Structure 1
């Protein structure tokens, strides 16, 4: 169902309401299911970012972790999602219960907020709780993105993902402010932050159960997709290139924590203001996610994805350049926000039409797993280079690698209308596609004639 009350048939055929229209508001052009998922993500991100904003202070200042121990903890925080993304995607496709699998992920993360209270000052217990929390995130991400993709006509995927990511980013903006408000009101009682975070996360689960509609579309032969079918998607040259190039770019993507730490060291920012640095990135992301998503629908999603990495390279250049003060701080944070706005949802919007509906969750999970795993390795690479040669040289190495990867990816990514059903189930080559660039594939929301196995 669409908020504009247009039928799914008319939306898919001509989608006049899906154009950036003067007659309807933005939300009237987006499927109701996408708006509901955006509301769930927004509330959940308030909860998650409340914890993320205070966790470094809690671990280092209150529990006294060393920088090395905190670095290992941060790597665990970033890498735990990698191990369960494929599991979540496979379960969602095999049982055709995407909402249920996403709900389990949201529920697990919510319970883990109380787990932080139970863990007390035990670093080992805290590590286990954080790993479980991130596992919940990994479990829910692919089913959620598949629901967005399956609920949206192909020609509006960039806009739909942009709206979802913008709503998600509202939560990411509110979360740190809410955390510090709770700390200010309670005299730096971290336990109070964890309790409030749990309550907010529980509200997100309630919204998911009550507002989000599942998409259950069993394949025509009624066979349950096997896990090897997800890896079989890699036989399609277009999707395989997308996974490889996305992982390569992930290897030279500096993590948020390192970006903010480089800014802090470069500009001498006082520690008490350090937690406010993410708000600059989040603000730019919030303002640009929808406009860039719309632009990606018109100009090409992979082109926008590469443009986002050009913005990231610009942020590296600002950190390496001779300027100082606000002339570094503001442009670097803005470019960092542009990077996220142009890449986060846009990649899933580009990948969605490439994947058969029966394996869309698994395919997205496969793509996300490669990207997330590469970014974990990226943090290790930068950390090693920083230790060996210093932060400036380490960042220069990453910037050089990013420039090289951009040149390769410029000619390697497929066109936006490439689909895995151009590869037959026996691993044949892609059939030629005579459609004009940017034209949606026929039957883009239906299952393929064959299940890739």
Structure 2
């Protein structure tokens, strides 16, 4: 909860800081893509390390510390290159928290409780996604121009402290009895290409990267879209928190949803609905009540996609390589977070800011089609 509050406090601020430093829609897209660059190199090796270790708590704490440091670097970044570099550090800290946290869930959960436990895990993330934008909106208020730069610096200092608080649960995690990692011969060294050949894993990875990239593009581009439509930063924070609040609700209800519908059906609905909501936000709509209603419905249906893709990837992988498979999922997410915003930035440079939202909507629809085929 602490790390996701810090992250989602900082992410909209990255866009506003880029705007304050003279960046345009293309710059916002490239800075957003920089967030995922370093994790592309270390995600899978880190996942294999979690398969072999019995002590994952310290990795979560290290990630929280790095995330807080990234926020400090952002607060003092005075150029677009410095903001992009600090965004990369922010992404590394979040990667460590997510890979180790997902590894804990996969190692400690009983098979019949996997969807429920990943639902709770991502519900904590949704709570951070709800609180973070509210904090950023409250601190920024209606700041603009030169005042926007100093306001983002103050808000990023709050984010740094919040991220550092993520180290607080380390003592509790240190007392958790971890079962020993699997010792089945060669399982922890299953090549990534072999994992990708397992039924259900490619479509799960594609759906996951499409969903997460959509949230990233929405977080990055809604401030820019709102700026063009005369919507103040405080209201943008409320809209982003509304989306996160309904995602939190759906994740808390996930254990009931999977009793009525299959995991695959819910993933298809989640990606298709997310694509539709992104397309509506891209339309020239300035009424905050209409945008709020779209983001509320989209947020609810979007919410259960991430925990279900975690469960799908976990069950598709061999037992001794689940950490590696989950890290491969995170690697795919980061690849999507680099590639999709970068392409979205190019599209927005040609057709305007809403182009990035249209492109994300198209990727989501494609992932829904792939998930429906259960590849």
- Larger relative helix fraction: 2
Question: Could you tell me which residue of structure 2 aligns to residue 90 of structure 1?
Answer: 48
2:62 to 104, 126, 129: 104
**Taking structure 1 as reference, are residues 406 and 254 closer, same or farther at Cα in structure 2, changes over 3 Å only?**
farther
222 and 412 in structure 1: CA distance in 2 versus 1, 3 angstrom threshold: closer
1:306 shift after superposition: 1.1
CA distance in structure 2 between the aligned counterparts of 1:70 and 1:321, rounded to whole angstroms: 20
Does residue 225 of the first structure (1) align with residue 188 of the second (2)? yes
CA deviation after TM superposition for structure 1 residue 323, in Å? 7.4
Partner of 2:117: 160
- Report the alpha carbon displacement of residue 76 of structure 1 after superposing the two structures with TM: 0.9
Q: 1:56 aligns with which of 4, 10, 15?
A: 15
What is residue 33 of structure 2 aligned with on the other side?
75
Look up the SS of the partner of 1:84 in the other structure. Answer: helix
Give yes or no for contact 1:85–1:368 (8 Å, CA) kept in 2.
yes
The structure with higher relative contact order (CA 8 Å, sep 6+) is: 2
Structure 1 residue 282: Cα displacement: 1.2
| Higher alpha-carbon deviation: 71-80 or 175-184 | 175-184
Cα distance, 1:86 vs structure 2:
1.3
Contact preservation (8 Å) 2:36, 2:335: no
> What TM-score comes out, normalization by structure 1 length?
0.69
Aligned pairs for 1:6-405 (under 5 A) are 42-61=1-20, 63-117=21-75, 119-181=76-138, 190-211=152-173, 213=176, 215-220=178-183, 225-226=188-189, 229-243=191-205, 255-257=217-219, 260=222, 264=226, 268-270=230-232, 273-319=235-281, 325-326=287-288, 328-390=290-352, 399=361, 402-405=364-367
8 Å contact kept, 1:173–1:282:
yes
SS in structure 2 of the partner of residue 147 of structure 1: helix
| Structure 1 gap ranges (5+) | 1-41, 414-453
1:169–1:404 CA distance, 2 compared to 1 (3 A): closer
Check conservation: 2:137, 2:236, Cα contact below 8 A.
no
Are the aligned partners of 1:165 and 1:345 in contact in 2 as well (CA < 8 Å)? yes
- State the distance in 1 between where 2:354 and 2:154 align: 39
Paired residue secondary structure (2:178): coil
Q: Does structure 1 conserve the Cα–Cα contact (< 8 Å) formed by 2:248 and 2:303? A: yes
Instruction: List alignment gaps of at least 5 residues for structure 2.
Output: 142-146
Residues 218 and 357 of structure 2 are in contact (CA less than 8 Å); yes or no, is this contact kept in structure 1? no
Q: CA contact under 8 A between 1:179 and 1:193: conserved in structure 2?
A: yes
Q: Figure out how many residues of one structure are paired with residues of the other and give that number.
A: 367
Query: What is the Cα deviation at residue 120 of structure 1?
Result: 4.6
Contact 2:126/2:244, CA 8 A, preserved across alignment? yes
Q: 1:297 to 1:376 in 2, by over 3 A?
A: farther
What CA distance in whole angstroms lies between the structure 1 residues aligned with 2:7 and 2:243?
17
Note the aligned Cα RMSD (angstroms).
3.5
Q: Do the aligned residues in 2 keep the contact of 1:305 with 1:343 (CA within 8 Å)?
A: yes
CA distance in 1, matches of 2:233, 2:164: 32
Q: Whose radius of gyration is greater, 1 or 2? A: 1
The answer (yes or no) to whether the contact 1:88–1:101 under 8 Å persists in 2 is: no
CA distance in 2, matches of 1:256, 1:298: 30
Distance 1:64 1:214, change over 3 A: farther
